[in-house]
Chains A and B, each alone.
Chain A
Amino acid sequence: MIRSGSRLIVILLAVAVVELCLFGVIKLAKQRRPHARIFVSTPGKTVPFDDWIPEQALAVLEVGGADKIVELAFDPAFTGEKSFWSQWKPSALGWTLFRRNLEKEMGCDYPTMWHRLVQDGVTVASGPNNSFVAVAQASDAEFLKKLNNVLVTVTRKDAAKKSETNRVVEATHRDVTYWTISGGTEYHAIIGNRVVLANKLDALKAVLDCQADAGAGSLAKRADYQAAKRAAGGVATLRVSPELRQFLAKPKGDAAKEQNPLAVLLLAGYTEALKADTGWLALNADLQGQALSLRVAADCAKPKGTTAFSWPTQSDDGAWPNLDVPRKIAALSLYRNLHDFYAGKDALFPERTSQLIFFENMMGIWFTGRDLTEEVMGAVDPHIRVVVAAQQYDSAIGTPVVKIPAFAIVFRMKNPKRFARISEEAWQKAFGLVNVTRGQKAEAGLILDRKDHAGIRYTFAAFSPDDEPDHSKLDARFNYSPSIAHVGEYLVFSSTQQLTEDLIAALRKPAPAPLDGVNALLEIDGARLAEILDINREPIIRGNMLKNGQDRAAAEAGFNNYVNIARFLGHASLNLGAPDGKVAGELTFNLHGPARKQTAMLKP
């Protein structure tokens, strides 16, 4: 049984996906590209309606577990918050009377009515010419029949009273009776325990045709839809046509962002998968207990050429499992061949920006003019690991007002004996230069020193707190005591001594087996992330007041939402790679959060 917090996340994710898809469809419609199609499904129990949905559908949303959405939609704890649901409050007296009358006739309250109506799933599809259809499977056919009778009867009486002769119309198509109770802006039909609703008669008829012809001309018969369905792992959830993929992959605004070397390093291969001209992109969401997983698969093989640096060359190679240190907030493990990345820089990011020139100049100084590609980037192997952890502040030094987590990057050196000395020299030059620069501005400098820890001698730089008037409110610079350590074949650059020492312990453990086919693994501990946000509560709230123009109450509410979402997300991990030769990604959440109030409707 999932908890209410988890349900909120499920809904938010579903809404986000749907919004993204609908946004894409609208944009494409404006560009007169009617062939783009999107198929989305939310996690939970689903009934396959795809053989009722016409193949012309542009966007399809399959909602499994629709009863849970209804439950949430009428949950006072949810609707009491400032949300879409709470803002949609029909207040007209006529509506209230109609609703009460409906409840009386149906013998159940309004939320229960919705619950029974969509209990076994809903599929909503949009088609050409702004047409929409929805198919819902109710708990039982009798319920649907009774509901329809009530609605038609009440509307007929009202129409007769107002002399609106054409408001309620009943007709048949392919031996199925359909009605309109709005004079042509709505059409619906009931087939067994399913109800079909459409905003245009042609759309309704198209659904009825598919149903009558046993799915001929339906979405279910499309080969690409079925391929996407299989790749996504059972339930087809998202398929994007080439047109839409091109739209999604199109650079937005600042084209320079695409040439950012760091972005290229991190995203190489994935952007190519989005841009590929053929194939599909599929998404599958699944919820098992508290574990929500979203899997994306693309019909795109591992890229070759300049972006091949991010893909293992051997079949059993890949990114290593993440490092484990105390107080870990996040960790990232990458497979990136830096030598090949930098060797292909002219093709990957041809624009020589001032930042790139500065980087190369500084690297030239630090590494004494060595060849950056061969002697520096080529000196480390492709297994790179990054770790972020909360800090415990030394009482002898004090506590900064703004508490910034420690972070470190760990490389594996190909020739530790040689590159350890080169990297040590470069590090000391860099921080010596920092000291000179700070000295020129009459700012406090770093004291460079060495320390032995667990048999490893490492180098660090730290600010002295001696001249600080209040050690409980130190400047943000006291979050840093940058260090370099050489632990066997590993090279550690860390922002703090504490994390360096934790990593020395972690790196003493035997080398892990690589994750086959994975080239990036990101993990985030939501609870720790929430903790670190909470520690910096006041500066963040104040910052939000300035950034968003909010008053304190609104900024606090926004902050609390972020913290709660981080806690709800629990442990999140993103796994990217090409396990079966096709580019794929998997995002999983181990959801947990505070218990939410249950509605009366769901009580046994």
Chain B
Amino acid sequence: MTWTPHQQPWDRTHAAHLFRRVAFGANATELERALADGPAKTIYRLLKPAADVAAFNREMDACETLSLPELRGWWLRRMMLTPHPLLEKMTLFWHGWFGVGHNRVNHAGFMRDHIRALRAHALGKLDALLGAIVHDPAVFLAAGGANNPKALPNEYFARQLLARYTVGTGQFSPRDVTDTARAFTGYHVRGGKWRDVPTDHDAGPKTIFGQTGTWTPADFARLAAKQPALARRVVRALYRQFISEEQEPSNDVIEPLARSFAADLDIGKLVATMLRSQIFFASPAQRVKSPVELAVGICRTLGVTVPTLPLGAELAELGQNLYQPPTLKGWPGGRAWINHATIVGRTKLATRLVGNKKFPADPASPEFQLA
């Protein structure tokens, strides 16, 4: 099985699988249209919708406030209503990848801007995404990089950047750590503001990933993006996201895609290749939906919009608190979503969403008691 395009007959099962993975789910009309259009056109439409996505996102951006529960509610509403669900899925993917949580950032404005940055680059170029990340105050605060004085380069933050956000553990040297830390000196987050202090920046030569220069955070992002190890990590993570959490892909599967991705750094193209592949359509039912995917999927399938403010809190109870991943590693995902408590909660949630019952659940209601 390879990344060659899917050639088998196109039927409702395949279309439903595609929409579940890519767009949270599909209603009957969307499925009918997908069947009529065929896989190529459908995937193209999912990647590049005809609707004015920018206008929709501008409208939603304008609604966002600096209250974390409301930010959470608006994002869920955006996921339910967006004409570009894949973009939100990928934003959610990167949110888990960077694992930036409000409990460490303590600044709703930074969190809002962080998610907006992820959305802006979610299907764009990896170097642009990393370029935004290395100037994102939320990332600095979450990864312990609030202070980066020249006198004491913050190696802890550098290690997080290397191990968590880019090449991964075992793929960098001690020199990479010390010089990455030096590259970030002079960039601080103090008093709730991003501060760039040129006099505090170490302007001397540094060697990162074997390349020497007077590197800055932007240079670090550019150098990191080109690392094959990062490309492999991204491809593996996306394999888990779109194809299977159950099967660990062999290097033979990952390597060809990682090579092409490292060459162009185009996340959208990488996702498109995966979605069009035989592997994608050959692996249904090998993922556990996250609570957000479960709830949004039901709502999109039924075409309903539920009160997202209480829904956000309920999803947090089920283990997925938007804007608040548990650690820098994000959500573990897979079977970790399921335990004795969450399986009951997920059943109740699904029952209520399908029944379009009120939120939050009334503990005195018979259905609550039954569940």
Residues on A facing B (Cβ under 8 Å): 253, 441-444, 475, 539, 542-543, 545-551
Q: Does B136 contact A (CB under 8 A)?
A: no
**B115 nearest CB across to chain A (Å):** 16
**B79 nearest CB across to chain A (Å):** 13
Max chain B C-beta neighbours (<10 A), residue from A442, A543, A546, A550: A546
**In the complex, what residues of B have CB within 8 A of residue A539's CB?**
65
Max chain B C-beta neighbours (<10 A), residue from A441, A548, A549, A550: A549
Asked if B305 and A549 sit within 8 Å, CB to CB, the answer is yes
Asked if A546 and B305 sit within 8 Å, CB to CB, the answer is no
Which of these, B73, B106, B305, B363, contacts A551 with CB under 8 Å? Answer: B305
Per the bound structure, the CA–CA distance linking A551 and B73 in Å amounts to 14
Per the bound structure, the CA–CA distance linking A547 and B358 in Å amounts to 11
**In the complex, what residues of B have CB within 8 A of residue A549's CB?**
304-308, 359
20 contacts between A and B (CB under 8 A): A253-B363, A253-B364, A441-B106, A442-B191, A443-B192, A475-B66, A542-B70, A543-B70, A545-B63, A545-B77, A546-B70, A546-B77, A546-B308, A546-B309, A547-B310, A549-B305, A549-B307, A549-B308, A549-B359, A551-B305
Per the bound structure, the CA–CA distance linking A543 and B306 in Å amounts to 13
Per the bound structure, the CA–CA distance linking A551 and B63 in Å amounts to 13
Closest chain A residue, CB of each to CB of B306: A549
**In the complex, what residues of A have CB within 8 A of residue B309's CB?**
543, 546-547
Per the bound structure, the CA–CA distance linking A444 and B192 in Å amounts to 8
**A557 nearest CB across to chain B (Å):** 16
Q: Is the interface of B mostly helix, strand, loop or mixed?
A: loop
Q: Does B74 contact A (CB under 8 A)?
A: yes
Per the bound structure, the CA–CA distance linking A532 and B298 in Å amounts to 38
Q: Does B329 contact A (CB under 8 A)?
A: no
Q: Is the interface of A mostly helix, strand, loop or mixed?
A: loop
Q: Does B190 contact A (CB under 8 A)?
A: yes
**In the complex, what residues of A have CB within 8 A of residue B77's CB?**
545-546
**B97 nearest CB across to chain A (Å):** 27
Asked if A547 and B65 sit within 8 Å, CB to CB, the answer is no
Asked if B192 and A442 sit within 8 Å, CB to CB, the answer is yes
Per the bound structure, the CA–CA distance linking A551 and B74 in Å amounts to 12
Per the bound structure, the CA–CA distance linking A475 and B66 in Å amounts to 9
**A189 nearest CB across to chain B (Å):** 43
**In the complex, what residues of B have CB within 8 A of residue A444's CB?**
191-192
Which of these, A441, A443, A546, A550, contacts B74 with CB under 8 Å? Answer: A546
The answer to whether residues A547 and B307 also contact, given A442-B190, A442-B191, A444-B192 and a CB cut-off of 8 A, is yes
The answer to whether residues A542 and B364 also contact, given A442-B191, A549-B307 and a CB cut-off of 8 A, is no
Closest chain A residue, CB of each to CB of B189: A442
Can you name 11 extra interface pairs (CB under 8 A) apart from A442-B190, A546-B308, A549-B359?
A253-B363, A442-B192, A444-B191, A475-B66, A542-B63, A545-B63, A545-B77, A546-B74, A549-B304, A549-B307, A550-B305
Closest chain B residue, CB of each to CB of A401: B65
List residues of B (176-226) whose CB comes within 8 Å of A's CBs. Answer: 190-192
**B226 nearest CB across to chain A (Å):** 35
Per the bound structure, the CA–CA distance linking A549 and B80 in Å amounts to 11
Per the bound structure, the CA–CA distance linking A510 and B304 in Å amounts to 60
Per the bound structure, the CA–CA distance linking A443 and B70 in Å amounts to 21
**In the complex, what residues of A have CB within 8 A of residue B74's CB?**
546
**In the complex, what residues of A have CB within 8 A of residue B192's CB?**
442-444
Per the bound structure, the CA–CA distance linking A546 and B70 in Å amounts to 7
Max chain A C-beta neighbours (<10 A), residue from B106, B190, B307: B307
Closest chain A residue, CB of each to CB of B72: A546
The answer to whether residues A542 and B65 also contact, given A253-B364, A442-B190, A444-B192 and a CB cut-off of 8 A, is yes
Per the bound structure, the CA–CA distance linking A548 and B106 in Å amounts to 27
**A250 nearest CB across to chain B (Å):** 13
**In the complex, what residues of A have CB within 8 A of residue B310's CB?**
547
Per the bound structure, the CA–CA distance linking A546 and B359 in Å amounts to 11
Per the bound structure, the CA–CA distance linking A441 and B192 in Å amounts to 9
Per the bound structure, the CA–CA distance linking A547 and B307 in Å amounts to 5
Asked if A548 and B307 sit within 8 Å, CB to CB, the answer is yes
List residues of B (298-331) whose CB comes within 8 Å of A's CBs. Answer: 304-310
**A97 nearest CB across to chain B (Å):** 38
**A257 nearest CB across to chain B (Å):** 14
Max chain B C-beta neighbours (<10 A), residue from A443, A539, A542: A542
**In the complex, what residues of B have CB within 8 A of residue A547's CB?**
307, 309-310
Interface residues as binary, B165-180 with A (CB distance below 8 Å gives 1, 0 otherwise):
0000000000000000
Per the bound structure, the CA–CA distance linking A444 and B73 in Å amounts to 27
List residues of B (95-129) whose CB comes within 8 Å of A's CBs. Answer: 106
**B34 nearest CB across to chain A (Å):** 26
Per the bound structure, the CA–CA distance linking A548 and B66 in Å amounts to 19
> Which 4 A-B pairs have CB atoms at the shortest separation, nearest pair first?
A546-B73, A549-B307, A546-B309, A549-B306
**B109 nearest CB across to chain A (Å):** 9
**A288 nearest CB across to chain B (Å):** 40
Closest chain B residue, CB of each to CB of A253: B364
**In the complex, what residues of A have CB within 8 A of residue B306's CB?**
549
**In the complex, what residues of A have CB within 8 A of residue B73's CB?**
546
Per the bound structure, the CA–CA distance linking A549 and B305 in Å amounts to 6
Per the bound structure, the CA–CA distance linking A548 and B364 in Å amounts to 20
Per the bound structure, the CA–CA distance linking A539 and B62 in Å amounts to 11
**In the complex, what residues of A have CB within 8 A of residue B65's CB?**
539, 542
**In the complex, what residues of B have CB within 8 A of residue A441's CB?**
106
The answer to whether residues A546 and B307 also contact, given A443-B192, A539-B65 and a CB cut-off of 8 A, is yes
Per the bound structure, the CA–CA distance linking A444 and B191 in Å amounts to 7
**In the complex, what residues of B have CB within 8 A of residue A548's CB?**
307
**B264 nearest CB across to chain A (Å):** 38
Per the bound structure, the CA–CA distance linking A547 and B359 in Å amounts to 9
